[in-house]
Amino acid sequence: MNFIEQIIEEDIQNGKNDAKVHTRFPPEPNGYLHIGHAKSICLNFGMAKKYGGLTNLRFDDTNPVKEDTEYVDSIREDIKWLGFQWAEEHYASDYFDQLYMWAEQLIQEGLAYVDDQTQEEISKGRGVPTAPGVESPYRNRTVEENLDLFRRMRAGEFPDGSKVLRAKIDMASPNMHFRDPIMYRILHAHHHRTGDKWCIYPMYDYAHGQSDSIEGITHSICTLEFEVHRPLYDWFCEALRIHHPQQIEFARLNMTYTIMSKRKLLQLVKENYVNGWDDPRMPTICGLRRRGYTPASLRNFAETVGVAKRDNIIDVSLLEFCVREDLNKTAIRTMAVLDPVKLIIDNYPEDQEEEMIAVNNPEDPEAGTRTVPFAKELWIERADFRENADKKFYRLSIDREVRLKYAYIIKCTHIVKDDAGNITEIHCTYDPMTKSGMPESNRKVKATIHWASVKHAKKAHIRLFDRLFSVPDPDNCEEGQTFLDHLNPNSLVEQDGWIEPTLTLEKAMEIKHFQFERLGYFYADPDSTEDMLVFNKTVSLKQ
């Protein structure tokens, strides 16, 4: 049991909140969700589900400048794709009227004031944690004056940045967030939902707890950096005498070879370092989806990572392990040759063709079989042949035998090279008695290789990915560097390969996840057309 479950179970036992559990996932619609958000989603929905409760989706849209409905739509899609359904959908902006009334209430009670100082003066006055701050000269305005000024702020009488509303708490508190935090700022900006109704906007600390409270949230789970905000979260709920949810903090998810900041991910997109938010190299949920990650693999990853109280960094190989494990159970097997060289079976009749029976998924008997055409000329992987093979190389070499998967045992006789010395043809003979069902079918050879019939195979476009960054912690920069200096210039390699002809566009789009035998897991990309299927490599078969 993790520490969050411990808190929740204790609350249930004590009958707190009528022993109910109600969580929320509160994204700011200013970017696409990433794997860190997936962790938070799994946690919030997971806790509610475990204790028979509900989870709300709340868009934390208090910052009109950076927000957009494009992001709202993508967030909704990603949560559903992960396999979760929220009970209620809300927007912090729906609470603007209520929040405004509460602000007037705090002014009436002498707990908030309008400050005319500039941003610099305010932060200077806050001082440093080790010494008390300085009170604003406007701190002791009368209730009447504060109410009048606040109403005129709302009415649009003052320019941006000329005034703020601050809570009147304690300028000497060792917690800097307690030194008269800003509740409202003036911002003449169009909001994607409220339009031009407002020209003052609440700050995160003033909006978040109250939004939780309004929705009857019981446990408000957030990341560790909000721990120092918790006293303020509590203060507003107490001062307003409203339902008081409990904020609980856990360590945010960090992962090697990638970044998690929406601002930086946006920069990668805007400045074309990647091909959009759903570029398969991105740590975004839509990027991982296009890479071929499955919802189950991401949920399993979140579960395996668990919840921590201290910041840490998770190795990306754990994520890869999770998707491998899931796809091994479900992905349909296919033969594809990505770096082809021609194999010619000299003793195979010129015009003969056979249909070889191939297993769709050895892990799942119900997935059945298919047939793959076989003929005299085949493509095999260049790496499966070696001219000067030592004892440790078990695959094809002159005078050695291998099995062609689902077909025959062959023996290499000679090779043909071009003027530059590149191998252009590998010649071999086959043993007809070694086909499955034939007397020699059980004969043991040291290796089995995959193939595609030259006459039948279909060309496909393959995208291979490496890590987006070349160092484990791209945010760790030397002076004068930024995370951009750590981008891996070879993170995308595109090439053409040969795949089984049975794979039509319709079938590829329906099945989506494939294991290219011996090569790895691949995902049929939406860029595919009737003429050319496009596959993204999800992950290799082994680490």
Q: Minimum distance between the CB of residue 269 and ligand ATP, rounded to whole angstroms?
A: 13
- Minimum distance, C-beta of residue 266 to ligand ATP, in the bound complex (Å): 9
Could you tell me where the DSSP H helices lie in 241-284?
A: 262-270
Euclidean distance between CA atoms 219 and 25, whole angstroms: 11
Residue 73 and residue 50: Cα distance in Å, rounded? 27
Single-letter amino acid code for the residue at 110: G
Residue that has been written with the tokens 């002791």 in this structure: 140
Nearer residue to ligand ATP within complex by CB, 17 or 220: 220
Closest CA relative to residue 417, chosen from 426, 404, 405, 408:
426
Residue with tokens 């987006």: 468
Q: Closer to ligand ATP at the Cβ: 225 or 440?
A: 225
SS3 helix, strand, coil % of the chain, rounded to 5?
Answer: 35, 25, 40
Report the distance separating Cα 226 and Cα 209, nearest Å.
Answer: 12
Could you tell me if 277 and 74 are in contact, meaning their C-beta atoms sit under 8 angstroms apart? yes
The residue among 364 and 473 lying less far from ligand ATP, judged by its C-beta, is 473
Edge-first strand order for the sheet with 164-167 is 112-115, 164-167, 182-186, 200-202
User: Min. distance of Cβ 263 from ligand ATP in angstroms?
Assistant: 6
Question: Cβ closer to ligand ATP: 37 or 163?
Answer: 37
The angle subtended at Cα 223 by Cα 20 and Cα 283, nearest 5°, is 115
Q: How far apart are CA 29 and CA 61, in angstroms?
A: 6
Query: Residue 355: in which H helix or E strand, if any?
Result: strand 354-359
Q: Which of 394, 502, 384 is nearest to 451 (CA)?
A: 384
Q: In the complex with ligand ATP, which residue's Cβ is closer, 29 or 280?
A: 29
Bridge partners of residue 195, in order along the sequence: 191
The 8-class DSSP code of residue 141 comes to -
Which pair of tokens denotes residue 225? Answer: 């950096």
Sort strands 452-453 and 377-381 into parallel, antiparallel or unpaired. Answer: antiparallel
Which residues contribute to the site for ligand ATP (CB under 6 A)? 26-28, 36-37, 39-40, 60, 222-223, 252-253, 260-262
Tell me the residue number closest to ligand ATP, measured at CB: 36
Q: What is the full DSSP assignment across 372-420? A: EEE-SEEEEEGGGB-SS--TT--SB-TT-EEEETTS-EEEEEEEEE-TT
| 507 contacts 528 by C-beta, under 8 angstroms | no
- Phi, psi of 386, deg, nearest 5: -140, 130
Nearest to ligand ATP of 248, 428 (CB atom): 248
Query: Please, which residue, 40 or 434, has the CB nearer to ligand ATP?
Result: 40
Closer residue to ligand ATP in complex, CB, 26/287: 26
Catalytic residues: 28, 252, 262
d(CA 479, CA 487): 17
Q: Give min distance, CB of 37 to ligand ATP, in A.
A: 5
Q: How far is the CB of 224 from ligand ATP (least distance, A)?
A: 9
